[in-house]
Amino acid sequence: MSKAEQTRQLIIEKTASLFNKNGYAGTSLSDITAATGLTKGSIYGNFKNKEEVVVAVFKHSSGELSKKMGEAIATENKAYNQLIAFTDFYRNNWSPIFEKGGCPLLNSAIEADDAMPFMKTTVQHSFVNWAERVAKIIELGIEKKEFNKEINPKDYANTFIMLIEGGILLSKLANKPDNLYLALNRVVKIINEEIVE
């Protein structure tokens, strides 16, 4: 990496948790300089404006989450086990996710809806990718005759995301994982009762 790329990466990594906790709109340039130890000139020497920082930080945060989730799923061969690994990822990682301010996709979706319309397409794209990843696992299970061929993989993928994100939201508010576990248990019940052949 060049020095400029290293500086950009430093800015992204040092501010990721800050943006996720305080919100993109609620994080000032002063907050960014305090977190990074860099000057305003340094920040704007590497990013055109705050919006560019916001997009880069979101892509980094959502990419890290996706990578870790992918690693958890990749340890399994059967589609059923991959879906369970998907739920276990959240069951096993709720604490570090909460410590960093919660799910970056959920937090960004709330802000992008009204406060940051420039982010809406990027956030939508992340949710679409997430749903496609889960739908592909279900499609694989259908192909291997593990899962009911009559189900709609995209509908189930979106349902799982809605349940999990709602569980994260309520658990984050209560500062304990009970509602997330409730949502994950419901996802597993749906897998066992509606998806498995």
Report d(CA 20, CA 37) in Å as an integer: 19
Considering only CA atoms, give the Rg of the chain: 19
Q: How many other CB atoms are found less than 10 A from the CB of residue 168?
A: 23
Class of the domain covering 54-195: mainly alpha
Residue 1 in this model has a pLDDT that exceeds 80: no
pTM for the model: 0.90
Contacts of 72 (CB under 8 A, 6+ apart): 85, 86, 88, 89
110 exposed, middle or buried (CB, 10 Å; 0-12, 13-18, 19+)?
middle
pLDDT digits (tens, 9 = 90+) for 82-114: 999 999 999 999 999 898 888 999 999 988 878
Interhelix angle for 50-74 vs 104-114, to 10°?
A: 140
Per-residue pLDDT at 135: 98
Interhelix angle for 79-99 vs 50-74, to 10°?
A: 140
Report d(CA 94, CA 107) in Å as an integer: 15
Name the 3-class secondary structure at 100: coil
Query: What SS3 string covers 4-20?
Result: HHHHHHHHHHHHHHHHH
Per-residue pLDDT at 136: 97
Six-digit token string for 135: 């739908």
**% residues pLDDT > 90 (the chain):** 87
Q: Domain residues of the chain, as ranges?
A: 54-195
